[in-house]
Amino acid sequence: MMQHIRAAAAVACMAVAMAVPARAQGTGAPASVRQVNQYFSYDSVAHSARLTIVASLDSSNQALNFNGSSGGDLAVEVPTGWTLQVRMVNNGPLRHSALVIAADGELPIAPRDPVFAGSGISPIERGLAPKAHGTMQFVAKRTGSYGIVCGVPAHAQLGMWLFLVVRDDAPVPSYRFLSTRKVLGSMDGARP
């Protein structure tokens, strides 16, 4: 009898496990989701990553920063083919936006052509108003070095950008600081 109940319970458990994706305890997120830090997480089964960018997080670089970083001293890396969802919150007094451009040389004064379909937070040139939120979602289709840059004229040149690295051989996404690097107006030099 006891064995019978145990077997029935095991079957019931399996049914629940199959019906509901495994959940990380307490967070409500699937077990395949890893929260790297307060700004970055990824799902290794869905092949997607989520990045939160707080524009003007603090006063560093005259508040022209993303999550406190500027001049390419922060690099977010995702494997080729993954989807990246970016949510921007404007915490500063000026308007800001974000778009992905190829990292080749000097930053344009007014970057306005996102390199991947969907890789811009509108309005790119005018920017989000203070306290406003915006999102973009795109597939990082092509391997290479890119910048996630502010599209409001002059902001990227003044350092409001971070590196986005798309790599074939990246095992998992990462969010890392390039402490030796800080070049405000150019993407040349020590690339991640």
Among 78, 88, 150, 162, binds Cu ion (CB under 5 A): 150
CB of 150 vs Cu ion, minimal distance in Å: 3
Q: Which stretch binds Cu ion (CB under 5 A): 29-37, 43-51, 71-79, 151-159?
A: 151-159
DSSP per-residue string spanning 65-115: -BTTB-TT-EEEEEETT-EEEEEEEE-SSS-B-EEEEE--SBPPSS----S
CB of 55 vs Cu ion, minimal distance in Å: 6
Q: Are 109 and 158 in contact (CB under 8 A)?
A: no
Among 49, 54, 149, 155, binds Cu ion (CB under 5 A): 155
Comparison of 75 and 150: residue with beta carbon closer to Cu ion: 150
Tokens (6 digits) for 114: 């996102």
CB of 108 vs Cu ion, minimal distance in Å: 14
Name residues contacting Cu ion, limited to 37-66 (CB under 5 A): none
Q: Are 65 and 56 in contact (CB under 8 A)?
A: yes
Greatest Cα pair distance, the chain, in angstroms, is 77
User: Under DSSP, is residue 188 helix (H, G, I), strand (E, B) or coil?
Assistant: coil
Task: Look up tokens 């990082």; give the residue.
Answer: 140
Among 86, 124, 128, 160, binds Cu ion (CB under 5 A): 160
Comparison of 94 and 139: residue with beta carbon closer to Cu ion: 94
11 vs 30: CA distance, rounded Å: 22
* φ, ψ of residue 17 in degrees (nearest 5): -60, -35
If one asks whether residue 162 binds Cu ion (CB under 5 A), the answer comes out as: no
Comparison of 139 and 149: residue with beta carbon closer to Cu ion: 149
Tally of CA atoms within 13 A in the half-sphere of 157 that contains its CB: 9
Name residues contacting Cu ion, limited to 83-142 (CB under 5 A): 96
Among 148, 152, 165, 166, binds Cu ion (CB under 5 A): 152
Comparison of 150 and 165: residue with beta carbon closer to Cu ion: 150
For Cu ion (CB under 5 A), the number of binding residues is 5
Q: Which residues bind Cu ion (CB under 5 A)?
A: 96, 150, 152, 155, 160
